């Protein structure tokens, strides 16, 4: 199902347009994105059966939007027994200074 070599890259202009389009339709105050540090992502990618990462929209117990990141294997199964990430630095307020 997954090889870890799926073609996901797009050019920066297209990516910015997709982001702009989403923001134009999003509810005010909605979480636009989040920062995850390299260390946790590398740890997840290093799990032996990891073919890639799956990112879920989620709602934190405190009521704010967040993302949950979990490794997935080649069959598309989430690897919940490994490292799972959530505690992101949300945007806003931690957005790119270029925005």
pLDDT for 41: 96
As a whole number of angstroms, the distance between CA 9 and CA 24 comes to 23
What pTM value is reported for the model?
0.84
Q: Residue 11: is it exposed, middle or buried by C-beta count within 10 angstroms (0-12/13-18/19+)?
A: exposed
How confident is the chain (99 residues) per 10-residue block, as mean pLDDT?
A: 91 91 83 92 96 92 88 96 92 86
45 secondary structure, DSSP code: H
As a whole number of angstroms, the distance between CA 5 and CA 87 comes to 27
């Amino acid at each position: 199902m997954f090889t870890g070599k799926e073609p996901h890259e797009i050019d920066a202009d297209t990516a910015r347009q997709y982001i702009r389009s989403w923001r134009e339709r999003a509810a005010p105050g909605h979480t636009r994105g989040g920062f995850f540090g390299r260390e946790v992502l590398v740890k997840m990618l290093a799990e032996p059966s990891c073919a890639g990462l799956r990112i879920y929209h989620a709602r934190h117990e405190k009521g704010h939007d967040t993302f949950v990141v979990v490794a997935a294997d080649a069959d598309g199964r989430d690897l919940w027994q490994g490292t799972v990430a959530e505690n992101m630095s949300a945007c806003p307020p931690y957005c790119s200074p270029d925005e």
